[in-house]
Chain A
Amino acid sequence: MADPALETRDLCKSFGALEVSRGISISLLPGEIHAVIGPNGAGKSTLIQQICGVTAPDSGSVFLRGRDVTHLPVESRARAGLARTFQVSALALDDTVLENAVVGAIGSSGKAFRFFAPALGDRELRETAFSALERVGLAEKANMRASDLSHGERRQLEVAIALTLSPKAFVMDEPMAGLGAEGSRIMTGFLDGLRREAPILLVEHDMDAVFALADRISVLVYGSIIASGTVEEIRNDSTVREAYLGETA
């Protein structure tokens, strides 16, 4: 079995008396989409925050390509190739689509402290940004303001910015949120191809998308992984049906 691109080992986190992560160990293998599902309040957001470095776990570790990154700050993990998208778009709305993508390229280049040469005139940055925008189908809107994009396009731009990091692993927080049927279909098709580039840890509420995309699914309930397996196994798992799928069906 290939080494995992991303792995958590026994992550524990409490806020006061509330245990939001109870020994979470999950892995993300090259080429796969690993979906994490669970009811609201299960601790999915806190899990993402610990993986990305926003919140420090009380115990346990996070590994990126075998390297322990538990104590690295967010920006170092990003430069090491951990790319995330946000549930609520965190774009620079006053700026153009291209500028948003270029900022991703600047961040991943690790050379933000250049004060004189125009960033948009930098061939390397432009190429990185444009190729990411092309991948998500936004190249033609490169000079539009991000605030003028539709909701679906903003989600695509989120992914494009993640792509500029030449990621080793993606962490996506509900990329389908608010997309509508047609938008979800397009995004599903796109993510399907993206897994070959880097594996995706997908936190998602849209079960159709999860069942269509995921190679593996982990079910998070009250801070614990109660089941993990292939789509078929999870569909047929009785504890999962009881604890979670039963509610949504």
Chain B
Amino acid sequence: MTRESILNAVILALLVLVPAWAVLADEPFTITLATRAVILALAAVGLNIALGLGGLVSLGHAVFFGLGGYAMGILAYHVQAYEPMFEWPFLFEGSKSMPAIWLTAILVSALAALVLGLLSLRTSGVYFIMITLAFGQMFYFFSISWSAYGGEDGLSIYVRNGFPGLNTLDPIQFYGLCLAILVIALVLASRLRLSRFGLALNAARQSPKRAEAVGLQPFRLRLTAFVLSGAITGLAGALFADLNRFVSPAMFSWQMSGEIMILVILGGVGRLYGPVAGAIVYVLLEHVLGGLSEFWHIYLGLLLLAVVLFVRGGIVGALSGRRAAHG
């Protein structure tokens, strides 16, 4: 076993043991923190597919996170307000069922990623960064101006949505559900990177002209990666909204895009568990530093600066002492 896989096992063990301890010690707030970390990790696992594997520096992933959030908010709002979403061609009242909400979140964010990808992947480098950031802002302002769903104030959902056979109001059950999804996403991501697609995408990142010269289509590979990436981040957005029972334009903000990217970088770009490590550390910092100082973002900024300038490879990279195994 490499040091990286030992580290991965430790991370997973923490995600099981800490909440288990919290249940025994009756520390529901710890469970909420852990849920937050797991959901943010899922969002970052999504971004890592585009960023780590595809080399696409997207500063607009809040679009998908927000769309997932609003998919939850809108579907649940209609049930809550007893206002059908539409009555034609059939009566649809919205939904309070997590599987239906998740599916919607995935489809909507995948579709958005397809359209944004078709536009922004025509460019590369700095253009791509600026364009994804700009489209993120477009969704942000759109959500503010769209008063039917709360506008600037967002939407509150009073009761957490349901999942067949579980009591999602119980923090630990909801946590378990989120963790299960994260684990599934990690398994899929690990398979993805070793699959034909993963190898081809990886080659297109490192050397696009080589990829073309062996008959691969870098544009299509990147677009597909962007869509997969957006779909996963969208699912995370739906869960995040369900955790807070609230969605607002803040989920679309550029700060959100930046935060998701920070998670990936803190953990280590292109590392399978990098986003998970990054999310855990981020939530801990937020909690610990946020408790010490109102201005904890200064420390976060200094830490991020130090990681970028001096610690290549993030936490997983520093602790496993090995270059990123992108393949």
Contact = CB atoms under 8 A, between A and B. Distances in A.
Contact of B192 (A52, A99, A115): A115
B213 A118 contact: no
A229 interface: no
Nearest to A76: B215
B27 interface: no
A92 B206 contact: yes
B230 to A, nearest CB: 15
A210 B94 CA distance: 73
Given A92-B206, A115-B192, A118-B195, A86 B216 contact: no
A114 B195 contact: yes
Nearest to A110: B215
Q: Number of contact residues on A: which range applies?
A: 35 or more
B212 A161 contact: no
A134 to B, nearest CB: 18
A62 interface: no
Contact of B211 (A103, A115, A164, A165): A103
Contact of B221 (A93, A102, A111, A112): A112
Interface in A74-110: 74-76, 78-79, 83-84, 86, 90-96, 99-100, 102-104, 106-110
B210 interface: yes
Interface in B107-156: none
Given A95-B326, A122-B196, A164 B214 contact: yes
B245 to A, nearest CB: 34
A92 B324 CA distance: 13
B194 interface: yes
A94 B323 contact: yes
A95 B327 contact: yes
A91 B210 contact: yes
Contacts of A95: 199, 202-203, 206, 326-327
Given A86-B209, A112-B196, A122-B196, 12 more contacts: A79-B215, A90-B213, A91-B206, A92-B207, A99-B199, A103-B202, A107-B216, A113-B220, A114-B197, A115-B191, A115-B198, A118-B194
- Of all A-B residue pairs in the complex, the 6 with the closest CB atoms, nearest first, are A107-B214, A107-B215, A78-B215, A79-B215, A92-B206, A90-B210
Interface of B: 188, 191-192, 194-200, 202-203, 206-207, 209-217, 220-221, 224, 228, 323-324, 326-327
11 contacts: A94-B324, A94-B326, A95-B199, A100-B203, A103-B202, A107-B215, A109-B196, A112-B200, A115-B191, A115-B192, A119-B195
